[in-house]
Chains A and B, each alone.
Chain A
C-alpha cells in the first residue's frame, strides 16, 4: 500500500514530451501536421455557447401559460437586444401597453407552452487554445486541437499555483540551499522564470509579481506565506486558476527544503532557454502535478537517463516527513523485519546514511528517490 509515491516525480534532462492541446468544446483547428509552433501559436479556435436566461412571461404579464404564445413579439431563433420587448399586452382597454424587456443581448432559444417561460441565450464567447511549448504538430484532433511534440527537459513539481506561462529561465541563487528573498529579485527579471533554492519568501513573491516576473521555481515555501500571497488559504490542492500574474512551482515540499541537486543542476544548465511552466495541481484521483518543460535542440530523446525507479540499497533518497524532513541520504540497508516506530506503529524501514554521516532507520513510505 505504501509505494505509490516512492517513485518521486520526473526529473528528465532529455525526453520526448507530447502535449495534447484541446479546446474545451468543439471548434476549428488552425494548424496542420508538421507545423512548427511556438508557445504563442494558436492551435484551435472555438466559441462557447452563451448562458441561458429563462424569462417567465406568464408571471410577468399575469397570464396563464397557454395565453403566452400570442403575446410574444419575438420568435424562436430571433436575435434580441437588452431592453428590447420580448412580449407585450395592451392594458387599460387598449390605451396602455405592458412589455417584458429582454434582460440580455442574445437569441430566443425556446418558448415553453407548459410554463410560459421564454429561454434566451446570450451571444457565444470566443476562446482559443495555444501551443504553450515550442515544438512540432504531431497529430490533429479533429474539431478539438492537436498534439504537440518536442524533445525537452521535463521536471515535475510537487505543487504549484497559477496556470500556463513561458519565459526565459534565470537562476537567481548560487546553490539549491539558498533562500530566494526580495533582494535577489531585480527589474531585469521581468518576463522571466526565476529559479530559487530552498525557500521563496513572501517579499520575493510580491516583488517578483510587481516587476512582471512570470514564474518562480522553488524547493519549498511556507504555507502561511503562500496563502498571504494568494490572498486566501488553499484548502484542497486543486490549483491553476488563481488570479495571479506569475506561476509558482514547488519542487520538493512545504517549508524550507533545498531543491534536489539533480533539479537545480538541470535547471541551471538550461539558463537562458525558454521554459514553459504550468502550476496547475490536482491532488486527487487523476493526479496532476505542476510541470516545467524546456525544449532542447536535440532531435532524439535519451530515455536511458531515467535512472533507478526503485528504493534499493545505494539509492539516493529524500526524507519527506518528520523526523529529518527534507534531508537527503543514501540507503545502506533494507532490513526484512518490521520496525517499531516511536509512534508504536510497525513499518518496513530503510537504513539511511545522511549526508552528514549519521545513520538512521526510517519508514520506506517516508522516502522518495532523488
Chain B
C-alpha cells in the first residue's frame, strides 16, 4: 500500500441520517482540488436497508458530472487512491459518562466523549445530586451504546470509583456493553472484577492522571474504535461500507472537530464553529489552544424544530421576523416542518421564519457551550501578588467573544442561504461578536469530509478547505459600550495600496463597508465609551477581511427589534418589499 501522502485522489463520503454526500478530491499540478460532489438519500431504512445503495447513488452523481467511473462491476470502488467515510447515522454513538466529581473527572470524561464525536446522554457523578437507585434506573432507561467511566487521579481515590462501577454493574445493561475505563489506574483490577460478565471492559489512560493535567486523546481513540464496531453491528450495510474504506470510519462530529482544530492551529486563531443540523446543534471552539465540542441534543431545524420553538419561546423567534405572525400560526408551521423535514421554503416568509429559528438555535446552543468552555476545575492555582486584582475563576468561561478571531457557520442553513448576507446575519444576530471577528461559512458542507481527510493527508485537506470550501463573508467590527443612538461610535481608517479610506459610524446602526474583496490593514478608533479590543477609547490596528459581504460594522448594541426591517435592508439581505412585508 502506498504512503497516504502519495495518494492523488480521494472519494470521501459522509453518511447522515437522512442524506449521504460524497466529494471527489484530486491532485493536479501539485494542488489538491474539489472536483465533484454528489448527494443522495441515505438508505439505512426500509425498503433498502443498505447504506451502500445511497452511497453509490451519490457517487453516480459525481460519475455523471466528471465522466469518470468509480463503481466497478463487482460493487467495489475504482479510479481513486483512497475512499474515506464519516457517519452520523442514527445519531452516532450514544454514550453515558461517569466520573467522581461532576466538575472535575466527570467533566473531563464528558469533554473526551464529546470531542470524539459521541452523543452524551447523561453524566453521572458521585456528587450529581441523585441517589444511587435513580442513577441505576436512568442507565436502564437510556440504554447507552457505551459508557465512559472515569474517576480518581492515578493512585488516588478508589472507593468512589468502585461505587460508580457497582452502579453500572447493578444496572445490568448487557454483557457486551462497552465500558471504557479512563480512571485511576490503581482501580483497574477491582473494576475488572466488578464488571466481570456484566460488561465488556476496555482500559485507557486516565483522563485526569493528576488534577492539573487532562489527557483526552486515548479515551477519544477508544471511543472511535467502539463507534466503528457499533455502526458496523447496528446500521444496515456498514459491514460492506467498512470493507470499502481505506481508513476506519469516523463519527461525523469528530471529523468536523479535526478541521476546526486544524484551522486554529494553522492560523494561530481562536475559532468558534456552529453546525446546525436537523436534530442537533454542535458548537466547536478553540480558545487557549483547546478544542471543546458541545452538543445541544434537542435543538435543530428539522426533527427538533418544534423543540427549538419550545426552548426559545414564540416571542424570541417572532422578534426576528419583519412581519407579524400569530403564535398558533408559527407553531403549526414549525410542527409541519418537523413532521416533513425535507419540505423547502418556497415563500420568502417561510425562509425568514427558518432563519429566525436558526438565530435562536445558535444563540441557545452557544449559551450552553459557554458554560462548558472553562479551565480545568478543582485545580489549586499558584497565586502571587500579580494575581491580587485578577478575579477570574477557573469556572469562568474561556469563550470570550472579544478574543474570538474566526466564527464559522456550518450546515445547510448557511450553505444553502440564497444570499451570503443572510448567513452573515444569522451569525451576527445570534452570537453578537465583540471587537473584530472574521465570519465565514462552510459553503459546500465539506467540513466533515475534509476533517476525515486531514487524518490521512492534512495538507490536502487544508488546501481544499481554505482555498475552496471556506467562504469568507468578511470581518465584523462590533464596538462594545454605551451610547445614545446617533452619537459617534467608531472611526475606521482602511489602508489600501494607494490611499486611506475613512469611515465614521455612529451608535445604533448596521453598516456594510462595500469595498473590494481582500485583506486590508486598518486602524479602528472607538469613541471613549466604546471598546474594540484594546480598552475603552483605545485604537486597534489590525487586518480586516473584506469578504463576500464586504466589512460589516455593527454598532446596534442592545437590540431594538422594531428595527429588524431596517437591519435586513441595510445589508440587502432579503428581497423585501417596502411595506407589504411588514404586515
**Which A residues have a C-beta under 8 Å from some C-beta of B?**
1-5, 49, 51-54, 65, 109-110, 112, 114-115, 117, 119, 158-159, 222-224, 233-237, 253-255, 283-287, 320-323, 325, 341-345, 347, 362-363, 365-366, 368
Contacts and interface: CB of A to CB of B under 8 A. Distances in A.
A234 B308 CA distance: 11
B336 A344 contact: no
B216 interface: no
Interface of A is mostly: loop
Interface in B123-151: 132-133, 136-137
Contacts of B133: 51-54
A7 to B, nearest CB: 10
A49 B173 CA distance: 12
B310 A233 contact: yes
Interface stretch (B298-306, B379-387, B553-561): B298-306
B575 A344 contact: yes
B344 A365 contact: yes
Interface in B148-174: 158-159, 162-163, 166-167, 170-172
A1 B342 contact: yes
B501 interface: no
16 contacts: A1-B19, A52-B132, A52-B133, A110-B166, A115-B163, A117-B166, A224-B328, A235-B298, A235-B307, A254-B339, A284-B91, A284-B279, A285-B89, A321-B336, A345-B344, A363-B343
Interface residues of B, number: 60
Contact of B332 (A112, A254, A283, A366): A254
A3 B42 CA distance: 11
A363 B159 CA distance: 62
Contacts of B136: 51-52
B331 interface: yes
Interface of B: 17-19, 39-41, 44-45, 89-91, 132-133, 136-137, 158-159, 162-163, 166-167, 170-172, 190, 194, 279, 298, 303-304, 306-307, 310-311, 327-328, 331-333, 335-351, 416, 418-419, 575
5 A-B pairs with least C-beta separation: A235-B307, A344-B418, A223-B331, A343-B351, A321-B343
A54 B344 contact: no
Contact of B344 (A2, A159, A233): A2
Given A285-B89, A344-B419, A320 B336 contact: yes
A363 B344 contact: yes
Given A286-B90, A345-B351, A366-B344, A321 B337 contact: yes
Contacts of A223: 306, 328, 331-332, 335
Given A284-B279, A287-B45, A4 B18 contact: yes
Contacts of A114: 158-159, 162, 190
A158 B307 CA distance: 18
Given A284-B279, A343-B346, A347-B346, 14 more contacts: A1-B41, A5-B342, A49-B172, A112-B162, A114-B190, A235-B307, A253-B339, A285-B44, A321-B337, A322-B333, A342-B575, A344-B351, A345-B416, A368-B340
Task: Determine which residue in A53, A54, A109 has the highest number of CB atoms from chain B within 10 A of its CB, and name it.
Answer: A54
A336 B190 CA distance: 67
A322 B346 contact: yes
A80 to B, nearest CB: 16
A222 B167 CA distance: 44
Task: Determine which residue in B39, B307, B416 has the highest number of CB atoms from chain A within 10 A of its CB, and name it.
Answer: B307
Contacts of B19: 1
A52 B170 contact: yes
Contacts of B89: 285
A2 B40 CA distance: 9
Given A235-B310, A321-B336, A115 B162 contact: yes
A53 B304 CA distance: 35
A260 to B, nearest CB: 15
Contacts of B90: 285-286
B332 to A, nearest CB: 4
Nearest to A323: B347
A251 B393 CA distance: 55
Given A65-B159, A320-B343, A341-B346, A119 B170 contact: yes
A162 B348 CA distance: 36
A241 to B, nearest CB: 12
B342 A54 contact: no
Task: Determine which residue in B163, B194, B303, B339 has the highest number of CB atoms from chain A within 10 A of its CB, and name it.
Answer: B339
Contacts of B132: 52-54
A215 to B, nearest CB: 20
Given A1-B41, A254-B336, A321-B346, A54 B166 contact: yes
A362 B575 CA distance: 19
B348 A285 contact: no
A343 B419 CA distance: 10
Given A222-B328, A235-B307, A285-B91, A112 B344 contact: no
Contacts of B303: 236-237, 283-284
A306 B328 CA distance: 36
B338 A365 contact: no
Contacts of B167: 54
Contacts of A325: 336
Contacts of A237: 303, 306, 338-339
B419 to A, nearest CB: 7
Given A5-B340, A159-B339, A255 B332 contact: yes
B418 A345 contact: yes
Task: Determine which residue in B158, B342, B349 has the highest number of CB atoms from chain A within 10 A of its CB, and name it.
Answer: B342
B306 A342 contact: no
B338 A283 contact: yes
A325 B171 CA distance: 48
A112 B351 CA distance: 60
Contacts of B339: 158-159, 237, 253-254, 283
B284 to A, nearest CB: 22
Contact of A343 (B44, B45, B328, B350): B350
Given A54-B167, A236-B303, A321 B162 contact: no
A120 to B, nearest CB: 9
Contacts of B41: 1, 3-4
A100 B467 CA distance: 70
A124 to B, nearest CB: 13
Nearest to B171: A52
Contacts of A343: 345-348, 350-351, 418
A342 B340 contact: no
Contacts of B349: 322
B324 to A, nearest CB: 16
Nearest to A116: B159
Given A114-B162, A325-B336, A362-B346, A236 B351 contact: no
A342 B348 contact: yes
B318 to A, nearest CB: 15
A362 B347 CA distance: 10
A21 B252 CA distance: 35
A3 to B, nearest CB: 7
A285 B43 CA distance: 11
Contacts of B336: 253-255, 320-321, 325
Task: Determine which residue in B41, B91, B136, B170 has the highest number of CB atoms from chain A within 10 A of its CB, and name it.
Answer: B170
Contacts of B44: 285
A245 B163 CA distance: 42
A236 B307 contact: yes
Given A159-B339, A322-B347, A343-B346, A117 B310 contact: no
Nearest to B302: A283
Contacts of A52: 132-133, 136, 170-171
A1 B43 CA distance: 11
A158 B327 CA distance: 22
Contacts of A368: 340
A49 B279 CA distance: 34
A3 B210 CA distance: 53
Contact of B342 (A4, A119, A222, A286): A4
A369 to B, nearest CB: 13
Contacts of B348: 342-344
